Amino acid sequence: MPQGLDQIVDYYVSPVADVVSKVMFYAVPVAGVQFPLIVIWLIAAGLIFTVYFRFINFSLFRHAVGIAFGKYDEAGHKGEVSHFQALATALSGTLGLGNIAGVAIAVQTGGPGATFWMILAGFLGMSAKFIECTLGVKYRQIAANGEVYGGPMYYLSEGLKKTPLKKWGAFLAVFFCIMCIGGTMGGGNIFQSNQATAQLIHVTGGHDSFLYDKAWIVGLVFAILCGLVIFGGMKRIANVADKLVPFVCGIYMLAGFVILAYYYDRIPGTFGLILSDAFSWKSVTGGCIGAMVAGLRRASFSNEAGIGSSPIAHAAVKTEIPVTEGLVGLLEPFIDTVIVCTMTALIVVISGVYTQQAHDGVALTSVSFASVLPWFPYVLSVAVILFAFATMISWSYYGLRSWNYIFGRSKISSAIYNSIFCLFTVAGASMNLTSVVNFSDAMIFAMGIPNIIGLYFLAPEVKKDLKAYRLMRKI
């Protein structure tokens, strides 16, 4: 019999997790490489919406930046946070270990060419973010006390009433919420707490660290800090996110530019390698198909375009024109994937360490940066911990709004959810729940199934709203 709480939980959850993961991440062979259907589902949506909205990810990019920085703000609009705060909150849920460790794994398994496909997927994801964030604001509900409730569950249940799927809207909304709550507790909480704690123990001495057998202390500190933020609601989460996200990204990007400056003479050759590898047929990493799968999968998992998580945060924005927040939302995949993920990939490729099988994940990224900045692993540790904390507070909000949809909006209901979330944070720091995390990852991507179905049926009305907005702004 398994010993310890984590082993006991893993023992009983593992059979279910294996089945759910196999179904959710079912893959089909393409040129000898396994291509997960859920990735095809997400990328196809991004491609279709990019064409349907006439490449809005490029044509209105500058306008979107202006909205995000308050150029078109008007006083008196209902909502809880500014455009920039909504963007920062949503970004805090996507920026994290995936941008640091996941990208390194993508390059290691798919080769340098994975970087090209990752960038392409980032651009396609911008269009999916546009439509889902627009709908998140359009179908939101604002309580008497000013609190905002929005997200896919509302545009699925209300928006689909006007479509042939009117009888399925309520079911799809509840299904989305159940998946979101499960994904929040695992990937958005346990995994983040566990990995941040592991990194902290690593840089403080590993087996010799004072915290080695006291990981629960780190979890408790995380839980207290999370509690101080999430019990304050969306406004407090946004106030933390709009300071934390730019700060951590700034540190990470600054270090990245230092590395690129050091290897400046390798930059042209690196871009050439990425392009040639993206379309090669070499068999070592599966050729261009292997690079494509690795790049598209990492981008989809990182920016969450089509998953339906971001619209929950964007719904709280202060605006009465939903399209404006949709345009702000399309900046997410650009920042998350096209900028941050690409920076990581370039560093891993240009340093040449991606060929070292002795390292993977965050260790590979750390070695890449340390090739120029020996002290950078310590900075990386700070980034990992802060990214993890930012992810936890944003995903706690996603889970809370899904919980509110099912169990009601009372203060008691919200307090119960927040308390459970904090308990999972403490437990996650010292538990090795592989099966739970795998199960929650499957649930997170299952959110994209009902969400994208809804997006397809509601796309025509968003297109009409966009046309009206462009006429109003004369753009």
- DSSP string covering 353-401, please? GGG-TT--HHHHHHHHHHTT-TTHHHHHHHHHHHHHHHHHHHHHHHHHH
On whether the CB atoms of residues 395 and 185 are closer than 8 A, the answer is: no
When mean pLDDT is compared over 128-137, 237-246, 367-376, 435-444, the highest value belongs to: 128-137
Q: What value, to the nearest 5°, has the Cα angle with vertex 181 and ends 293 and 150?
A: 95
Q: Tokens 């997927």 correspond to what residue?
A: 121
pLDDT, position 283: 41
Q: Which of 99, 63, 66, 60 is nearest to 84 (CA)?
A: 66
CATH 1.20.1740.10 for domain 5-473, yes or no, is: yes
356 pLDDT above the threshold of 80:
no
On whether the CB atoms of residues 367 and 359 are closer than 8 A, the answer is: yes
More confident residue, 22 or 331: 331
Question: Please, which pLDDT band fits residue 288 given cuts at 50, 70 and 90?
Answer: low
When mean pLDDT is compared over 90-99, 201-210, 214-223, 285-294, the highest value belongs to: 214-223
pLDDT, position 284: 43
pLDDT tens, position by position, 66-85:
999 888 877 778 888 889 99
Bridge-based pairing state of the strands 27-30 and 33-36: antiparallel
199 pLDDT above the threshold of 50:
yes
Residue 92 CA to residue 397 CA, distance in Å, equals 11
Question: Please, which pLDDT band fits residue 169 given cuts at 50, 70 and 90?
Answer: very high
Residue 177 CA to residue 173 CA, distance in Å, equals 6
Q: What are 459's two structure tokens?
A: 């796309």
On whether the CB atoms of residues 153 and 405 are closer than 8 A, the answer is: yes
On whether the CB atoms of residues 176 and 153 are closer than 8 A, the answer is: yes
468 pLDDT above the threshold of 70:
yes
Half-sphere exposure of residue 101: CA atoms within 13 angstroms, side-chain side: 17
Mean pLDDT of the chain: 85
Q: Phi/psi of residue 202, each to 5°?
A: -60, -45
pLDDT tens, position by position, 104-120:
777 877 788 888 888 99
pLDDT tens, position by position, 25-38:
788 876 666 778 88
Residue 42 CA to residue 289 CA, distance in Å, equals 17
pLDDT, position 98: 72
Q: Which of 153, 158, 159, 156 is nearest to 181 (CA)?
A: 153
pLDDT, position 389: 87
pLDDT, position 100: 76
287 pLDDT above the threshold of 60:
no
Q: Cβ atoms within 10 A of the Cβ of 435, count? A: 22
More confident residue, 279 or 6: 279
On whether the CB atoms of residues 365 and 347 are closer than 8 A, the answer is: yes
Question: Please, which pLDDT band fits residue 176 given cuts at 50, 70 and 90?
Answer: very high
Question: Please, which pLDDT band fits residue 358 given cuts at 50, 70 and 90?
Answer: low
217 pLDDT above the threshold of 60:
yes
